[in-house]
Chains A and B, each alone.
Chain A
Amino acid sequence: MKIGVLALQGAFIEHIQCLEKLGVNGIEIRQSTDLDGLDGLILPGGESTVQGKLLHDLKMFDKIKQLISEGLPVLGTCAGLILLGANVINADSQNQNPHLGTLPVTVQRNAYGRQLGSFVHTGDVGAIETFPMEFIRAPYIKDVSNDVEILSRVDSKIVGVRYKNQIGLAFHPEMTDDLRIHKAFINLIKAS
């Protein structure tokens, strides 16, 4: 199994380390040709403005969007969720179409404010119980279309969703030692 981790900027090494612990090969995706032959794709945390811009600069945007639309399993965490979101509030209005927009949800960027608003919360994520969720200058999901499955809420705010082949999380499973979410993603790939 070959899972790509978008390695333009941010916490991509952490995801690759999680995959390695589960015996799966994680591949750094830095240019368009790296995208060939993937079984799954992870969009890591980082700054979504940077990642979105680099996706365009390095001519990877259309190809990734197409792969996801064709059913490639994808896991987006924090900035990755923002990249997937169809609507993004408080997005960087300066860049044109920086987002992939394949996940039919509305994401509120920097929803918890600046770094002083960052926090940890333990809660359920779908079938996974009591998962330690790290929120770092995190977004949350303000609205979802009807066919989106809600995986997790914190104080009534949606922080995890699944829509067909796409999982979007507002927090950072790669920042903990708990591998259950990565394991679930690998199982999703196996099942698809």
Chain B
Amino acid sequence: MDKTTQYELNKGLAQMLKGGVIMDVTTPEQAKIAEKAGACAVMALERIPADIRAAGGVSRMSDPKMIQSIQNAVSIPVMAKCRIGHFVEAQILEAIEIDYIDESEVLSPADDIYHIDKTAFHVPFVCGARDLGEALRRINEGASMIRSKGEPGTGDVIQAVRHIRKINAEIRRITSLNKDELYEAAKELRVPTTLVQYVHDHGKLPVVNFAAGGVATPADAALMMQLGAEGVFVGSGIFKSGNPKKRASAIVQAVTNYNDAKLIAKLSEDLGEAMVGINPDEIKVIMEERGI
């Protein structure tokens, strides 16, 4: 299959995930709970971001055997994370036929200059971004889906809000430029003019854009959707909470009906304890600054 067709299919899978919730899971049992609660995909990893934070040290790709046990447990797409720039971890994930690779700042970066050349792979990649430049640079490297970085493992939504707002504000700015101003914009963003031209003409990224990092409640998820995210990743927020099953299901329904405050009010009832959370200014490791 030629590269362009492959890329179209990979962008297409992200389009199928839209309006859905992708949940972090660490065991086949959690994966089944997530699937049953209505997750459109799961992210298989050994430790959720909150625990990665707590553990400290170097955080790497998960054990392939553990990822495969999750692939065998569910029928929905399974994603997994590799370190930024660690193309061999990505090759391993491709070898076990993962559905999507997240080249993720949640893990310790393997390369502080280069991201993975994602065009060299058949499987699709999703990457984090804080602004339009980061998003378009990742797309230029071959990412077929973007998510906000947020600040993972905090249960604090402020960074995800900041990133989605910033990306969308910068998109609006690009659409207002004259054609002869796009060359300079491309230079500033450090991306090819063709990508800037796409954003200018369509008023959106050329790939699907999800929110991620710190989403913990149905209201958080609906907030991200109202701010223009096309779907939501929920990491630590579900399985670090009092009633994962109920919370997961409530977040899924809140993403579908993100404008229906009455329904979200109902969904927010009796969810038990939310993850305790931690403010970004209370933490030492700032993951969002990794890989820009």
Residues of chain A at the chain B interface (Cβ within 8 Å): 7-14, 30-31, 45-47, 49-50, 53-54, 57-58, 78-79, 90-92, 94-95, 109-110, 113-116, 118-120, 134, 136-137, 172, 175
B87 on the A face (CB < 8 A): no
- With beta carbons under 8 angstroms apart, the residue of B1, B16, B252 that contacts A119 is B1
Bound CA span A92–B77, Å: 13
Judge whether B16 and A118 touch: CB under 8 Å: no
With a CB–CB cut-off of 8 A, which chain A residues contact B1? 119-120
Given contacts A9-B18, A115-B10, A115-B99, 12 further A-B contacts (CB under 8 A): A9-B256, A31-B257, A46-B17, A50-B20, A58-B253, A110-B75, A114-B71, A119-B9, A120-B5, A120-B9, A172-B12, A175-B8
Q: Are B17 and A114 closer than 8 Å at their CB atoms?
A: no
| CB neighbours of B39 from chain A (8 A) | 50
**Known contacts A9-B256, A31-B257, A134-B9: does B20 contact A113 (CB below 8 Å)?**
no
Pairs A-B, 10 closest by C-beta atoms: A9-B19, A115-B99, A47-B40, A118-B9, A53-B38, A114-B97, A94-B36, A9-B20, A50-B38, A11-B15
Closest residue to B32 on the A side, CB-wise?
A94
- Can you show 26 pairs from A to B with CB atoms below 8 A apart? A9-B255, A13-B18, A14-B15, A30-B256, A46-B40, A47-B76, A47-B77, A49-B35, A49-B75, A50-B40, A50-B76, A54-B253, A58-B253, A58-B256, A78-B16, A92-B75, A94-B36, A109-B75, A114-B78, A114-B97, A120-B1, A120-B5, A120-B9, A134-B9, A136-B12, A136-B16
Interface residues, chain B, with chain A CB atoms under 8 Å away: 1, 5, 8-10, 12-13, 15-20, 32, 35-41, 71, 75-78, 94, 97-100, 122-124, 249, 252-253, 255-257, 260
Which of the residues A9, A92, A113, A137 comes within 8 Å of B35, measured between beta carbons?
Answer: A92
* Contact among A54, A79, A110 with B38 in the assembled complex (CB-CB below 8 Å): A54
Residues on the B chain within 8 Å of A50, using CB: 20, 38-40, 76, 252
Please tell me if the beta carbons of B256 and A45 are within 8 angstroms of each other in the complex. no
Q: Are B36 and A113 in contact (CB under 8 A)?
A: no
